[in-house]
Structure 1
């Protein structure tokens, strides 16, 4: 009995290459007599498709597998929606980097066939949940697969805040902002701000100050079950922004508290059987290749 019968397709909008790949994927899945469900926003770009459509929110409830055609940004958005249902996600890369969407369009049929036949690697990736509170009131909340970022928005002013980990005061800090990243997000914004690369299997969170006022401020790696609290200085003259995966944004005020913790539900991310994390890093980050030495 096939493990994946109801297969959802999510695609990045505004790209003819993505639409071409989705048409090819749809045709391939229908030839295998599978039930294909298109996300409603991408379905509008495919007139006459004849497929069932649904919202992204509903897709996690009715699909056995969701295939994302696009870049890592597309997969981040899908991940936040699918994690709550435990629906596995597979990425076909139509973006640039492709740390998460690791199937090339030219190998679509071969790799998707392997997955449908049960030959794949499944990884659990944890997400973060962030909430901003103003006194007793919740001002905003969102999830992030990559990172939660406190930043000044359009202002050029430096931020000032206090950091607490598991209720313990760590430090007060002046900086351009703060990045709190998962291992998945350690190769994204966190990396460009000087954070470490963390293997996806690590149960850890990295806290990276952005251009801190004090040169001794360095990234801190803490246990993945840590509860973080960032208190925005009441004396601050601007209203900072919180961004989750660079996609969901909300504004906080001086004196607000940002709480960050691991989300209970995890993303189930599918890779081809030959997936190699270090090869991905070597290719995407331009690391040196072998010297030709025989092993």
Structure 2
């Protein structure tokens, strides 16, 4: 049975012009429906909103049962990683350009939010990637990624060479500008720009995409997500790894980047009637024809 919510967290892209009155309007609307409201701490500090309790992400995870994210997909990615361990469902109000995962427009937030807050919604769960960087047997960096883990060449260097292993099996040494390991959510992000396929979010897999490969035969490949992917730096200077927007630069030869499916998932709530295919048609400007 759908859940009626009691305490909403609100987080916004606090750098965006005009965000404060919008956040205040949303908060007032939500409290008017009988919910308690808390603001994410950085959002409150950077907008100057003091009418609501300001909490850290962990405190929000402990006290709230829903989060409303106002901004673009980047804002959602950052907050979704922080909330993944708390299993709090997320609603996205789009103030950016694309809005694949922040899919409610600002203009219709009232008509879209009200049914969701009282328990009438579509629920969707997305897989999360968990990665780590290993050097001489020691983990020196780890993080979660909703979109992708990307290993790429240094800004001034040539190609990077990566030894790719899936599970216990060696796949290939790839010489390229980099390699992307993307979740189904990330398949419409950098992976798509690099020539990778779109994966439906319900598919239990991910896609491995070489970036500008030296060998034209190195093509994107869809992998099952039961095993891990291991990328080892064989050659190339100043390579870096990005877990969504979390970066580690100046990787060394022999460093290994491990990627596997996290035990955590991210839960998105959408208005009734939401369709992933309709989102693709709208955001990618596909010819719609007749339904």
Normalization by structure 1: what TM-score? 0.94
Does the CA-based 8 Å contact 2:159-2:236 persist in structure 1?
A: no
Q: State how far apart, in whole Å, the 2-side matches of 1:270 and 1:196 are.
A: 25
3-state DSSP class of the match of 1:190?
helix
Q: Paired residue for 1:280? A: 279
Q: Larger deviation: 153-162 or 167-176?
A: 153-162
1:63 aligns with 2:64: yes
1:250 aligns with 2:248: yes
Does the CA-based 8 Å contact 1:18-1:94 persist in structure 2?
A: no
Give the drift of 1:17. Answer: 3.4
3-state DSSP class of the match of 1:255?
coil
RMSD: 1.5
1:13 aligns with 2:20: no
Q: Paired residue for 1:224? A: 225
Q: Paired residue for 2:263? A: 264
Does the CA-based 8 Å contact 1:239-1:254 persist in structure 2?
A: no
Q: CA deviation digits over 1:131-153, x for unaligned, max 9?
A: 01012111111110000000114
Q: Larger deviation: 186-195 or 55-64?
A: 55-64
Give the drift of 1:48. Answer: 5.2
1:67-146 equivalences under 5 Å are 67-146=68-147
Q: CA deviation digits over 1:130-181, x for unaligned, max 9?
A: 1010121111111100000001142341000110001100001100000000
3-state DSSP class of the match of 1:44?
helix
Q: State how far apart, in whole Å, the 2-side matches of 1:128 and 1:153 are.
A: 23
Give the drift of 1:256. Answer: 0.6
Q: State how far apart, in whole Å, the 2-side matches of 1:83 and 1:48 are.
A: 26
Give the drift of 1:68. Answer: 0.2
How many residues are matched?
289
- Consecutive unaligned residues of structure 2, counting only runs of 5 or more, are none
Q: CA deviation digits over 1:174-196, x for unaligned, max 9?
A: 00000000000000000000000
Q: State how far apart, in whole Å, the 1-side matches of 2:275 and 2:135 are.
A: 44
3-state DSSP class of the match of 1:81?
helix
Q: CA deviation digits over 1:36-70, x for unaligned, max 9?
A: 00011111244353211111232122110000000
Does the CA-based 8 Å contact 2:20-2:49 persist in structure 1?
A: no
Q: State how far apart, in whole Å, the 1-side matches of 2:163 and 2:38 are.
A: 46
Does the CA-based 8 Å contact 1:164-1:171 persist in structure 2?
A: yes
Normalization by structure 2: what TM-score? 0.96
3-state DSSP class of the match of 2:104?
coil
Q: State how far apart, in whole Å, the 2-side matches of 1:75 and 1:231 are.
A: 30
Q: State how far apart, in whole Å, the 1-side matches of 2:209 and 2:201 are.
A: 17
Q: State how far apart, in whole Å, the 2-side matches of 1:282 and 1:153 are.
A: 36
- Consecutive unaligned residues of structure 1, counting only runs of 5 or more, are none
Give the drift of 1:237. Answer: 4.5
Sort the Cα spacing of 1:200 and 1:2 in 2 relative to 1 into closer, same or farther, 3 A.
closer
Does the CA-based 8 Å contact 1:93-1:103 persist in structure 2?
A: yes
3-state DSSP class of the match of 1:191?
helix
Does the CA-based 8 Å contact 1:3-1:64 persist in structure 2?
A: no
Q: Paired residue for 1:40? A: 41
